[in-house]
Amino acid sequence: QGIIEKSKVKGIPIIIDAVSIFFISVSGLTFKNLFSKCSYYIFQDGLWLISQQPSLIQGYQRAILTPNYMEFSRLYEAMLRDPVDSSDHHGCVLRLSQAMGNLTVVQKGERDLISDGEKVLVCSHEGSSRRCGGQGDLLSGSLGVLAHWAFVAGAEKTNGQNPFLVAAFGACSLTRQSNHQAFQKFGRSMTASDMVSEVGTAFNKLFET
C-alpha cells in the first residue's frame, strides 16, 4: 500500500490484476526486459485490496485494472452497491470506470471490454477457445509495456486518444493474437509460455504492417 502511494506521487503507471500489481517506472522498457526492469509485486489479490480500499487508487488515472468477469462483478458491487446488470455489460464497465474516477478498466473475457469512463472499446480480435493459466500475466505485462510507450509518446502519437485506452486495446489484441498463433502450433496442449514465445511475431503482425 505504501508503494501505491509513492507511485501515485511520482505519477507512475500502475497495472492491477487479481494476482499482481505492476509499477511501470523505467525508461527503455521492452517486452524482453519487462520482468527484470519493472517493479512487479505478487499480491495475494490486488483487486480484492482495491475493492476493500478503493480510495487507494480512486481518481488516479494512470492506473489500469484488469479484472475477469467474477472479479469485475465483485468490484462493481463494492463500488456501486448494485449487482452487475447482465444485459448491459458496456454500461457496467463504463460506470465502474467512472466510479473509480475514470481510470482504465479492462474486463477480460470472451470479448474484452475496455473503458476510461468516457468511451467503451470492445476487443474481439481472434484468439482461440483455449485460455491458459498465466494468460492474465501476459496481458498485464504487455499492458505495462504498451501503457509505458503510449504514455511516453504522448497524446499526439495516439491521435488525441487517451493513451491508456489505446494501450489497453493494443495489449488485448496482442494477447489474443499470441493465443491464436500458439494455438495453431500447439493446440490444446498450449501453455502461457508458448504464448509468450509468440509475442514478438504477434506484435509484428499487428502493429508493424
Q: Note the residues at the interface with ligand NAG (CB under 6 A).
A: 98, 101-102, 117-118
The CB-of-117 to ligand NAG minimum distance in angstroms stands at 4
The CA distances from residue 67 to 10, 42, 178, 188, 200, in Å, are 25, 15, 20, 24, 25
The CB-of-92 to ligand NAG minimum distance in angstroms stands at 16
Pairing of strands 39-42, 104-107: unpaired
Residue appearing with cell numbers 519493472: 38
C-beta closer to ligand NAG: residue 68 or 161: 161
C-beta closer to ligand NAG: residue 40 or 164: 164
Is 30 strand, coil or helix?
coil
C-beta closer to ligand NAG: residue 95 or 176: 95
The CB-of-72 to ligand NAG minimum distance in angstroms stands at 19
The CB-of-19 to ligand NAG minimum distance in angstroms stands at 28
The CB-of-198 to ligand NAG minimum distance in angstroms stands at 36
The CB-of-170 to ligand NAG minimum distance in angstroms stands at 21
φ, ψ for residue 128, nearest 5 deg: -150, 175
C-alpha cell at 176: 489474443
C-beta closer to ligand NAG: residue 117 or 144: 117
> Within the chain, where are the H helices?
2-10, 34-37, 46-52, 69-80, 89-99, 135-153, 163-186, 192-207
Alpha-carbon distance of 145 to 200, in angstroms, equals 13
C-beta closer to ligand NAG: residue 25 or 58: 58
At how many degrees (to 10) do helices 163-186 and 135-153 cross? 140
Residues 6+ apart with CB under 8 A from 98: 117
C-beta closer to ligand NAG: residue 13 or 144: 13
